[in-house]
A and B are shown apart, each in its own frame.
Chain A
């Protein structure tokens, strides 16, 4: 009877590698990093799928990349560090197959951890999101990035199996992620777009993917580029033994490694370089589209159509309607606008409805690519509708639903609404110009119990606000206006609204 218990399973090298992988020891650290950085960052973003999923290719990769490169380098340098080269050289299985098992086990744990982290973000988002579903392209790009970082580290470890290779690979991975990130942030329309190959560029605007589909063009190019690098490095790894024995001549090396293996290595190297080069050149043609970046050769024009939806509405005095993705913000937005809408109700041009419209900021705005046929922020139409967007100046719909329902956000949302109505969309928020307009907005907000708003002031040489009034005078006029009865305020506004909007009302004329 043998003392060694016989295994009931058929052993496999990969199974042993998975069981004894050094990556397993790093999983708790990776999970802790994830929780304190990526998960918290995602939880702080609006529960919109496209927005939350951007964390997968930004924070998560920044945390994961250096570890993936360092751990893979540590695994690959094992034979050199542990001096098992002679022993392994006498075995039948070729070096590439042995390395494939070690790399496979490393990727198994890294990808399992990565996908578990993605699942955590997506489950959390699913619990809060009110519209849409989990986007898969960021996951594909993230997986490609983890694999590429791992293969870069593994190649470094296999070719230079020293004890410092792993930390150097980790530092290299960190720098690569940072450089890529900063290069990507610097991409502007009209400039070189090659930095878009860094997946860190995939930071969407607040409503990307909500009103329009996010085109997968850039994600396809990124996966192709990362995949190309990975395949090329695998080819290099396959060919490495040829160059190790090159002191006896390249042909001798080929003979010792095996002709077919050399052919496979060269083919992998060529295919990888070709894929990466193709992706590189495709990215050079990228241009801003309705939702992200379009690459003409990959772009499907049909995806540029608006996504149909039925808005969610709330509010009695002023119905407030939002795209269902933003339904979590609807109660707070509707509650904020009802009292100010009551003050304006019946006035000429007063909005009868408020509606969330697509954001026009960022690259699209720079290109003048505000959506054709879609309303712009401001009050427009007949009957008049107040259009606001998710990046609403002083009161963006960023933050958790609970976070938006606070006094500061509420006051900001009201101020934007009032100043847009009284001074026009170009002066929304703090950029209101005349002292009388400031006094009226402040008076209306004071009357409904909101905190007095702040305005950007253009001071004249004598310390007075442009327009010839001091802040104290504006505050006094606002107080006078707030102390009027609602009917008196409404009557004055009905009479003087056109002049107030035109900027011809002086502070002394405010009752």
Chain B
């Protein structure tokens, strides 16, 4: 298992953002669904070793992120795309991706080839030397994806990766994460259930800091057909049915 969470809790003052989540995730693509404020981003930031959990046991890639040496090794094999991608406008696409490849301590002689491959994968080859300030929001998102995958990570964390992408790019992105999921653990936090249906092998649905559903997209669809979910698509109906049930239970 690349991700092992045992009763993980994260508090911000009196607010409990993640509430006793336990989760084991292996290779494949896990879609993390949930409404705003459900705790997806906090969970993802803990998985990205940015935030330490307030309590519980967290193991990533078989290592304990509380230990500095383990944390460095995890980060070496980690890719992360935050919800709000910060960037340096004067950097070019290649420089930005190269910068992160070097900060991830990839061997310098491998960096140019890895950067070129990552930039090609997100279809930004023709804009490789463009300054980031000249790119559209969708292109910047693709730059963010490129920096996340440049080190061929074993654990990839995407927070709202398709926000701002056009339909064609979203399709390409889904293909990309399906490919990545063949060998790595990919966690995709999103509001867009169609992304989950198209690209994820597994789904976890969060509400009020807890995981209230864990299963395949097909199982989520089935819950919608059995319950009283609302929505245009079968997955949306499953999503809303589970959330309704979770809310009424709490």
Contacts and interface: CB of A to CB of B under 8 A. Distances in A.
Interface stretch (B77-85, B184-192, B196-204): B77-85
Contact of A256 (B52, B100, B111, B147): B52
B112 interface: yes
Nearest to B75: A92
Interface string A1-33: 011111100111100100110100000000000
B120 A90 contact: no
A2 B120 contact: yes
Interface of A (DSSP majority class) = loop
Q: In this complex, which of B76, B116, B117 has the most chain A Cβ atoms within 10 angstroms of its Cβ?
A: B116
B167 interface: no
B99 A16 contact: yes
Nearest to A10: B108
A352 to B, nearest CB: 71
B14 interface: no
Nearest to B105: A92
B115 A4 contact: yes
A86 B86 contact: yes
B43 interface: no
A490 to B, nearest CB: 79
Nearest to B123: A3
Shortest Cβ-Cβ A-B pairs, 10 listed: A3-B125, A84-B86, A91-B103, A83-B86, A4-B116, A10-B108, A92-B105, A7-B112, A90-B80, A4-B128
Nearest to B109: A10
A89 B80 CA distance: 10
Interface residues of A, number: 33
Interface string B58-84: 000000001010001001101010101
Contacts of B78: 90
A502 B82 CA distance: 94
Interface of A: 2-7, 10-13, 16, 19-20, 22, 78-79, 82-93, 98, 248, 255-256, 258
Interface in B100-135: 100-105, 108-109, 111-113, 115-117, 119-120, 125-126, 128
B99 A13 contact: yes
B76 A83 contact: no
A87 B80 contact: yes
Nearest to A9: B112
Given A12-B102, A90-B80, A93-B103, A258 B68 contact: yes
A20 B90 contact: yes
B88 A87 contact: no
B226 to A, nearest CB: 39
Contacts of A6: 112-113, 116
Contact of B98 (A5, A16, A91, A248): A16
Interface residues of B, number: 44
A11 B112 contact: yes
Given A6-B112, A20-B88, A91-B100, 17 more contacts: A3-B126, A3-B128, A6-B113, A7-B112, A10-B109, A11-B101, A11-B102, A16-B102, A83-B86, A86-B45, A87-B86, A89-B48, A92-B105, A93-B102, A248-B52, A256-B52, A258-B68
B112 A13 contact: no
Contact of B116 (A2, A98, A255): A2
B90 A13 contact: no
A95 to B, nearest CB: 10
A86 B48 CA distance: 9
Contact of A82 (B80, B86, B126): B86
Contacts of A20: 88, 90-91, 95
Given A82-B87, A92-B75, A11 B126 contact: no
Interface string B175-214: 0000000000000000000000000000000000000000
B57 interface: no
A11 B111 contact: yes
Given A16-B98, A20-B90, A2 B112 contact: no
Contacts of B6: none
Contacts of A92: 72, 75-76, 103-105
B76 A16 contact: no
